[in-house]
Amino acid sequence: MLRDARAQGKPLQLPTIMQAGIAQHGARFNEIRARGFVIENELQRSPDGAVRSRYRLTFDPEREAR
Q: Where are the domains of the chain?
A: 2-59
pLDDT of residue 65: 79
Dihedral angle of Cα 17, 23, 27, 31, to the nearest 10 degrees: -80
Amino acid letter, residue 60: D
pLDDT of residue 66: 67
Please tell me the pTM assigned to this model.
0.84
Helix/strand/coil for 9? coil
pLDDT of residue 22: 87
Summarize pLDDT for 26-66 with one digit per residue, the tens: 999 999 999 999 999 999 998 998 889 999 999 999 999 76
Distance CA 58, CA 56 (A): 6
Provide the b/e sequence for 1-22 (b: ≥16 CB within 10 Å): ebeebbeeeebbebeebeeeee
pLDDT of residue 60: 97
Average pLDDT over residues 2-30: 93
